[in-house]
Amino acid sequence: MRAHLLVLAPLAAAAAPVDFAHEVVPVLRKHCAECHTGEKKKGGLSMNTLAELLEGGENGPVLVPGKPDESKLVTVVVAPADSEERMPPKGKGLDAREADLLRRWVAEGAPWTPGFAFKAPAYEPPLRPRRPALPEAVEGRTHAVDRVLDAWLRARRQPIPAAADDSAFLRRAHLDLIGVLPTAEEARAFLADASPDKRDRLVRSLLVRNVDYADHWMTFWNDLLRNDYAGTGYIDGGRRQITRWLHRSLLENRPYDRMVRELVNPVPGSEGFAQGIIWRGSVSVAQGRELQYSQSVSQVLLGINMKCASCHDSFTDRWKLRDAYGLAAIFGEKPLELVRCDVPTGRAAVAAWPFPELGQVDPAAPRAERLRQLADLMVHPDNGRLRRTVANRIWHRLMGRGLVHPVDAMETPPWSEELLDVLANRLADNGHDLRDLIAFIATSQAYKSRAEVLAPSAAEAAAYVYRGPRARRLTAEQFVDALWRLTDTAPQKFDAELDPPAAAASAPRLAAKAIWSDDTPAGALPAAGESRVLRRVFPLSKPPSRALATVTCDNAFELVVNGRSVGRGGEWWEPRILDLTPHLRVGSNEIRLLARNGGEGPNAAAAWLQAHLRFPGGETMSLATDAGWEWSPRGEPGAAWRPVRVLDDTAVWERGERALAEQLAQLQGFPRLAARASLVKADLLQRSLGRPNREQVVSERPNDLSTLEAIDLSNGPALAGILAQGARNLLARDWKSPGEMVDWIWLSALCRPPTATERRIAIGLLGEQPGEQSVADLVWSVLMLPEFATVR
C-alpha cells in the first residue's frame, strides 16, 4: 500500500494525497462510527480495521481500493437522502467535500495507517479509588505490597524473587531515596549491623535527611514539571522557574494534594508550571500557553496524553479536541476558539475537565474561580486517577518499571491493578505524604529483593513479568554526585535559587568563642598577614558515626584533622560546614586551624569552630573553640604550645556569629556540605550523561549508555579533570597501604568490600607507590563498571 502511494505521490503533486489520519478518519468517525465500529456491526459491516472493511458486510464488499465507482462506501454516501441505500440512513449525511475526500481516498488505494483501528478502547481505567481485598500473607510476608505480589506470582507459577544482599540494598536505598551513596563508614556500619530490622531502619533514617531528599528528588520533579529549563522561550524571559517553591515543597514534605492544588491553581512561586513556555514568533495554537497548560496538567498529573487531542480528536484514545480545549479554557484569560489542525472551527471552547462524573467546572465562572474549581476536582477524594498516576511514577522510580508502563499512558492496563490501588490508597489514606509512600514501597520485601537479571528478550517483551526490581542506569545527577563525593571535588556554590535554610525554632546557643593567639600587646591589633596555628587535642574512646563542624575565621583558615586537610574557608561571615567523620579515630585526636589574618595593616583577627559528634549508640559530644585551645606560630613538630586568648568583644563579628549559630542548628541533621548536581546548571558532563533540556515533559530517561556517551566518559576532558584532581585528593589522605585505599574505594563506590581477585587487580593497577595517574585510572575503572553505573 505504501509503495503504491510512493509511486503515486510525485504524480499527484498538484493535489496533495489524501491524509488518512487527519482527513479520512474524522469523516468515518463522524458519519459511520456509530453503527460500524467497536462492537457495532450493522449490516454485518465493521470498519474497525482495514481488513474488516475490505471484508465488507452482508451485501458483499464495500471497498475496492483504487476503484471508487465500484466501492459502495463511496456511492452510498451520495445516494439521494430518501433512497434505501443512502448512508448514513438518518441525518444530513456527508457534505460534498467529505464525499469527495472519501472518493479520492479510495481512488488513491485507500491507504490506512498501519495498526490503526477504530475499536473502542479495550480497557478503560477506573477513575474512583478501589479497595481490593488483600490476599492472605504467606510465610510471614505481611506487607500489603508483598501480599499482592506473592499472590500474583503464585497465580502465574513464578518464583518469589530472592532477597538482595545487604550491599545491594544499602546502595539501592541510598541512591533511590536520597540520590547519594553512603560513605565508607556508613557502609561498614550497615554491613556490620546484625539486627534484623536494619533495612527498615535505614529507609526511615534516609527519609528524614530533608536536604538530601529534597536535593535528590528535584531531578525527578524538574524533569516532570519542565523546571530548570533554559532553552527556547527563555530568550524573551518567557518562563518562570519554580525551583524555590519546588525545593521547599520537598524539604517540608508538603502533601501531594497541596502540591497539585498549587500547580493547577498557582500560588506565588509555582506559576511557572501552569504558565508554560512563551515562544517567540507565531506558534501553532496547539502550543500556545493555554494548550500547554492542558497538556502539562493532563500528562503530569493524570497520565493523559492531550497532545494529539490538542490538534484533532485523538486517533489512539478517547480524548477529543474539545477535551484538550476544555482544560485550556479553564486556564485561558480570554475565550478560546477551537482550532482543528491549525484551522479555526468557529466554535468556542467550553471550560471543562475530563471527568465530569466527579463534578464540573462552571464555564461561566471567572478564571480564578475556574482554576480553584479545577484544583478541587483534581484532588477530589474520588479522583483515583490522580493518586494512581503519581503512585505509579514512584513505583517506577524505585522498581525500575511502572505498574502501568510507559508511565504517562495511564489508559494502559496495569500489570497488577490491585497493587496500583494499594499504593494509591496508601497515599490518599496517609495525608498524601509522598515520603510515606516511598517508605511504604521501600520497606516491602519486593523492594528488598534481588534485581532481575534481564534476558534480552525480556527487555523488549510486550508482556511484562515481574521478577524483582529492574536495574536502572544512574541519572546524570546521581553519577556526578557519586563522582564528586568519591573524589572530594564537589563545588561549594550552586546555581539553583533556594530559600536559605530555615532557622530552627530554638537555635542552639553558640558555644564557640572567638580565639586568637595571646601575644598581641594590649591596645594593639594582630598584624596583617599574621599566621597562627590554633589547636585542640582530645581523646575519643570510640569512632563517631558522624562528626560535623561549623568553622570560620577572620580572614582565612585551613582545617586539619590528625594531619589531613579537611577544608578551607575565606569569608568570615560565611562559615563552612565540614565533615570530620573520616578523619577522627579512637585514641588521641588533634584538630588544627591554620588561621591567617588579612588586610593591609593591623586589624582584628579571630577564629571559631564548633563541632557536633554523634556516636552509634546515640550519644553526642560537642567541641568548641574556647580557653582550652592552644596556639603556636607554626605548629612544627616539637613546637611550644601556649593557651589562646579568648576575645570578649565580638560585636564587629556579629554577622559571622549569627551565621555560625544558624549552621549549628543544621549540624544535628544532615546539612548540604557541598553542591549537589541537581542544583548546578547542566554542564557538558551532565548533558553527556543524559540530563535533558526540558523542552518537553520528561518522565523517563534513557536507560542505555550510548557510544558517544561512552567516548565522553573514556576521554572527555571534564571527567579526566575531575579524576586528576580527585586522585590528588585521595593521595593526600592517610592510607596505611594501597590495599586500604582499594577497600575504601570499593566500599564508597560499590558499598561492598572488594573480592580477593578484585583487590589483587586493583592493587596491581595502583602499584607499590600509588601515584596520581594510577589512582585516577583505578577510580575510572570502578566508575565504568556496570555495577557502579546502575542502581540495582
Partner 1 sequence: MNPLPLDPSLPAPLARREFLRLLGAAGLATLALPAPRLRAEPAAKPAHPPARADACILVWLAGGMAAPETFDPKRYAPYEKGLPYSKLLSTFPSIPTAVDGLRFCQGLESIASVMDRGAIIRSAVQPDLGNILHSRHQYHWHTGYVPPQTVHCPHIGAWMAKVLGPRNPVMPAFVNVGQRLEGVGESEELKAFTTAGFFGGEFGPMNLPYPDQAAAAVRPPKGMDAGRFASREREFRRLVDASPDRERLSDHHQQSMLRAMDNAHRLLSAKERASFDLSLEDADSRRAYGDSRFAQGCLLARRLVEAGTRFVEVTTEYVPFLHWDTHGKGHETVARMHREIDRPIAQLILDLESRGMLDRTLVIVASEFSRDAMIEGRVGSTAGDQSHHRGATIEHPDHYGLHRHFTGGTSVLLFGGGVRRGLIHGATAEERPLVATRDPVSVEDLHATIFTAMGISPKTAYDIEGRPFYATIDGKGVAAPILR
Site for partner 1 in 711-740 (CB under 8 A): 711, 713-717, 719-720, 724
- Measure CA of the first residue to CA of the last residue in the chain; give whole Å: 46
The residue (of 195 and 757) whose beta carbon lies closer to partner 1 is 757
Q: Is residue 780 near partner 1 by the rule CB under 8 A?
A: yes
User: CA-to-CA distance for 737 and 770, rounded, in angstroms?
Assistant: 9
User: CA-to-CA distance for 792 and 788, rounded, in angstroms?
Assistant: 9
Residue type, 141: R
User: CA-to-CA distance for 294 and 331, rounded, in angstroms?
Assistant: 8
Q: Is residue 120 near partner 1 by the rule CB under 8 A?
A: no
Give the x/- contact pattern for partner 1 in 414-453, rule: CB under 8 A: ---------------------------------------x
Candidates 648, 707, 768, 769: give the one binding partner 1 (CB under 8 A).
707
> From the CB of 776, what's the least distance to partner 1, in Å?
9
From 31-39, 195-203, 659-667, 709-717, give the range in contact with partner 1 by CB under 8 A. Answer: 709-717
744-773 positions binding partner 1, by CB under 8 A: 755, 757-758, 761-762, 764-765, 773
> From the CB of 341, what's the least distance to partner 1, in Å?
10
User: CA-to-CA distance for 748 and 742, rounded, in angstroms?
Assistant: 10
Q: Is residue 652 near partner 1 by the rule CB under 8 A?
A: no
The residue (of 456 and 638) whose beta carbon lies closer to partner 1 is 456
Q: Is residue 115 near partner 1 by the rule CB under 8 A?
A: yes
Candidates 35, 99, 540, 705: give the one binding partner 1 (CB under 8 A).
705
Q: Is residue 565 near partner 1 by the rule CB under 8 A?
A: no
Task: Name which of 602, 596, 627, 623 is nearest 611 in CA terms.
Answer: 623
Q: Is residue 637 near partner 1 by the rule CB under 8 A?
A: no
User: CA-to-CA distance for 266 and 274, rounded, in angstroms?
Assistant: 7
Q: What letter does residue 297 receive in the DSSP assignment?
A: I
User: CA-to-CA distance for 579 and 560, rounded, in angstroms?
Assistant: 11
Q: Is residue 192 near partner 1 by the rule CB under 8 A?
A: no
Q: Is residue 681 near partner 1 by the rule CB under 8 A?
A: no
Q: Which three cell numbers stand for residue 787?
A: 555495577
Give the x/- contact pattern for partner 1 in 452-491, rule: CB under 8 A: -xxxx-xxx----------x-x------------------
Q: Is residue 409 near partner 1 by the rule CB under 8 A?
A: yes
The residue (of 154 and 280) whose beta carbon lies closer to partner 1 is 280
The residue (of 224 and 361) whose beta carbon lies closer to partner 1 is 224
Asked if residue 599 lies in contact with residue 613, where contact means CB atoms within 8 angstroms, the answer is: no
3-state secondary structure of 217: helix
Q: Is residue 172 near partner 1 by the rule CB under 8 A?
A: no
DSSP assignment of 589-643 equals EEEEEEEE--SSS----EEEEEEEEE-TTS-EEEEE-STT-EEESS--TT---EE
Q: Is residue 163 near partner 1 by the rule CB under 8 A?
A: no
Helix (H), strand (E) at residue 54: helix 50-55
Q: Is residue 646 near partner 1 by the rule CB under 8 A?
A: no
> From the CB of 495, what's the least distance to partner 1, in Å?
14
For every residue of 232-269, which 3-state class applies, written as one string? CCCCCCCCCCCHHHHHHHHHCCCCHHHHHHHHHCCCCC
Total binding residues toward partner 1, as defined by CB under 8 A: 92
338-357 positions binding partner 1, by CB under 8 A: none
User: CA-to-CA distance for 235 and 447, rounded, in angstroms?
Assistant: 44
The residue (of 570 and 721) whose beta carbon lies closer to partner 1 is 721
> From the CB of 307, what's the least distance to partner 1, in Å?
4
The residue (of 553 and 783) whose beta carbon lies closer to partner 1 is 783
Q: Is residue 138 near partner 1 by the rule CB under 8 A?
A: no
207-246 positions binding partner 1, by CB under 8 A: 230-235
Give the x/- contact pattern for partner 1 in 61-100, rule: CB under 8 A: ----------------------------------------
Q: Which three cell numbers stand for residue 625?
A: 573553640
The residue (of 41 and 687) whose beta carbon lies closer to partner 1 is 687
Bridge partners (DSSP) of residue 539 are 588
249-308 positions binding partner 1, by CB under 8 A: 277, 279-284, 286-287, 295, 305, 307-308
DSSP percent split of the chain into helix, strand, coil, nearest 5: 40, 10, 45
Give the x/- contact pattern for partner 1 in 41-60, rule: CB under 8 A: --------------------
From 5-13, 38-46, 247-255, 614-622, give the range in contact with partner 1 by CB under 8 A. Answer: 5-13
Task: Name which of 512, 532, 515 is nearest 647 in CA terms.
Answer: 515
User: CA-to-CA distance for 668 and 654, rounded, in angstroms?
Assistant: 23
Asked if residue 351 lies in contact with residue 329, where contact means CB atoms within 8 angstroms, the answer is: yes
> From the CB of 457, what's the least distance to partner 1, in Å?
9
User: CA-to-CA distance for 201 and 195, rounded, in angstroms?
Assistant: 10
Asked if residue 512 lies in contact with residue 660, where contact means CB atoms within 8 angstroms, the answer is: yes
The dihedrals phi and psi of 343, each to the nearest 5 degrees, come to -115, 120
Candidates 684, 734, 737, 771: give the one binding partner 1 (CB under 8 A).
684
Q: Is residue 2 near partner 1 by the rule CB under 8 A?
A: yes
User: CA-to-CA distance for 751 and 87, rounded, in angstroms?
Assistant: 71
Give the x/- contact pattern for partner 1 in 16-35, rule: CB under 8 A: xx-x-xx-------------
> From the CB of 326, what's the least distance to partner 1, in Å?
18
Asked if residue 296 lies in contact with residue 697, where contact means CB atoms within 8 angstroms, the answer is: yes
CA 607 to chain centre: 41
Q: Is residue 782 near partner 1 by the rule CB under 8 A?
A: yes
Could you tell me which residues come within 8 angstroms of residue 470 by beta carbon, excluding any fewer than 6 positions away?
A: 399, 400, 401, 451, 452, 454
The residue (of 558 and 787) whose beta carbon lies closer to partner 1 is 787
